[in-house]
Amino acid sequence: MAVGSLGAGSGIDLESLVKQMVSAQKDVKVKLYQDKINGYEAEFSALGQVGSAIDNFKSSVQALNNDDLFTGRDAKIAQKEGEEVVSITTDNTASNGSYAIDVNQLAKGSRIMSAQGLFSSADEVITKEDAQLIFKAGSHEFSINVDAGTTLSELRNQINTSEDNFGVSANLIDDGNGNLFFTATSSIQGAGNTLKISNTSIVRDEDGNIIDNSKDAIDVKDPIEEQDAVEKSNEVADDAKPVDEPDELDLEGDDVDFANDGPIPADEEKDIAETASAADIEPVEIETDDTDNTEVAPFAAGLTLDSVSTEGMTAGLYAPLGEEARDAVITVDGIQIRNQSNTFDDAVAGLSIEALAPTDKTTKVDISFDQKTVQETIEAFVASYNDMVGFLQASTDKDAVLNGNSMIRTLQSSLSTQLMSSHGEAGTFTSVFDLGIKMDNKGMLSFNNAKFDDAMKRGYSEIAPMISGKNGLAQSLENLLSSYTGSAGMTNTLKDSLTRSIDNTEETLEAYEDRMVRYEESLRSKFAGLDSRLANMNAQGGYLNSVLAKM
């Protein structure tokens, strides 16, 4: 056997002897302390899991204790899945009842486009001078600076990337026959919000003279005489034609005369008048080799910003029929309602109605108490209760860490008592067991849909006080669970106690280990002296043996 430094003189393995003596004194007791600490830590962890289970259950109780739970409304819409025409959101101010809803028209933004033959290439320059384009749609407006020499393609990109753009998208479409169309769409919906584009460019004639670029400035041979003639002609025509009463429902931007009252609505007359006015500008005829044919000449000064505007003497953009911005129109119980968007928030108190598609028949909507949400909340409560009770039972089973824990036993007993107690005012229902809930012999709950539906029909208004009222089940359970959760709850109080026990035991173990170090040092000191004396005795014995051998 190898001999360590301690015992080298005597030849005895004193090192091993010291270690065995220290181990015999230390190991068993250190293990007891460590097992005690491990037990405290396991219990601490188990209590943390119990606290989490209680918190999860408390969340479901709080959902049950919501005052709005039993006052919520549900909208049942008679429409097939995948063929929805309306979407309805309710709040607790909605009145129970039935509504008949028709979607007459969806709101839409506008689209404007250039006339055929105006453009033929994306590289065409649309201005020879620096200017601005101003985009308007209702109260929305933004502008861009257009530099001299800007092409159609560059203008398109400039519009689409403008930081102030309120929802205008420009595009270029080639029909494959040499015609290029400039289009612009606006996302701003509602009648009267059709996109309009104007510009600040200066228009000159062939001789460089500035031309008035307003809509009303029309180049005629004798402006004064021509205007007088037009006014006289209009007076005669006005006297001859019948007068139409304006229809309040026929707003600018509609494509439907909802009143069906005969003549074209006022806004359509306005559009036709403006179109006719623009058409009064006579095209310039250019002689060709074929004397029988004439063609419209391009603008005398070439393309200008008017060509990408809806305003101006030579405006090149227009809104095709049916592409004007328009309102959404719905009919609720025979009353027609307009709105600039497809979402009607203020049409019916407590309802937000979103029009999804025009209808060809009336859609029935029933508003009632939100029984579905109530059932789902109670079912979630039952499932959460079972999860917590199952966890508590597993935590206190034989050989479990928390077996015999008084706090958990008290909690289990209190929960059962609360469920079985009467809550709210005496009436049709006294406990949750009257609502289709049942408890088995293991303390687990089950939910019966049929019994719940029957209870809803027998007394919906009496369920709220029993469950979420001031003295209801949910409030009682929340008060009970609050004594177990939070910084001052019993769960944390126990965890704090365990923490102190762990700290105290660790301090005791550390002090004991210090004593064992001193004990080992004492043994080494004593055995070192013994080793030295034994070494001397061995040396003397060796000397005597050598003397005796010589005699």
pLDDT digits (tens, 9 = 90+) for 30-76: 889 888 888 888 888 888 888 888 889 999 999 988 878 888 888 99
The number of residues in the chain equals 551
pLDDT, position 162 = 96
Determine which of 226-240, 297-311, 537-551 has the lowest per-residue pLDDT on average: 226-240
Paired strand residues for 463: none
Q: Which residues contact 239 (CB under 8 A, 6 or more apart)?
A: none
Average pLDDT of 282-305?
Answer: 44
What the block records as the tokens of 323 is 């592409």
pLDDT, position 85 = 96
Paired strand residues for 170: 184
Higher-confidence residue of 123 and 534: namely 123
Q: Are strands 110-114 and 180-186 parallel, antiparallel or unpaired?
A: antiparallel
Locate the domains of the chain by residue range: 41-71+372-494, 75-107+328-368, 108-218+295-324, 239-280
Percent of the chain scoring above 90 in pLDDT:
36
Average pLDDT of 182-209?
Answer: 86
Q: Dihedral of the CA atoms 299, 303, 305, 311 (nearest 10)?
A: 30
pLDDT, position 89 = 93
What the block records as the tokens of 151 is 């092409």
453 touches 481 (CB < 8 A): no
Task: Please state the separation of Cα 83 from the chain's center in Å.
Answer: 25
- Identify which of 130-134, 174-178, 422-426 has the greatest average pLDDT: 130-134
- Work out the pLDDT band at 1, boundaries 50, 70, 90: very low
- Work out the pLDDT band at 208, boundaries 50, 70, 90: low
Determine which of 86-100, 189-203, 490-504 has the lowest per-residue pLDDT on average: 490-504
Task: Please state the separation of Cα 488 from the chain's center in Å.
Answer: 36
pLDDT, position 203 = 62
Higher-confidence residue of 44 and 219: namely 44
> Nearest 5°: CA angle at 228, between 226 and 234?
100
pLDDT, position 468 = 82
pTM of the model: 0.58
Question: Residue 184: which of 205, 203, 207, 156 has the closest Cα?
Answer: 156
d(CA 270, CA 256): 15
193: left (phi over 0), alpha (psi -120 to 50) or beta: alpha
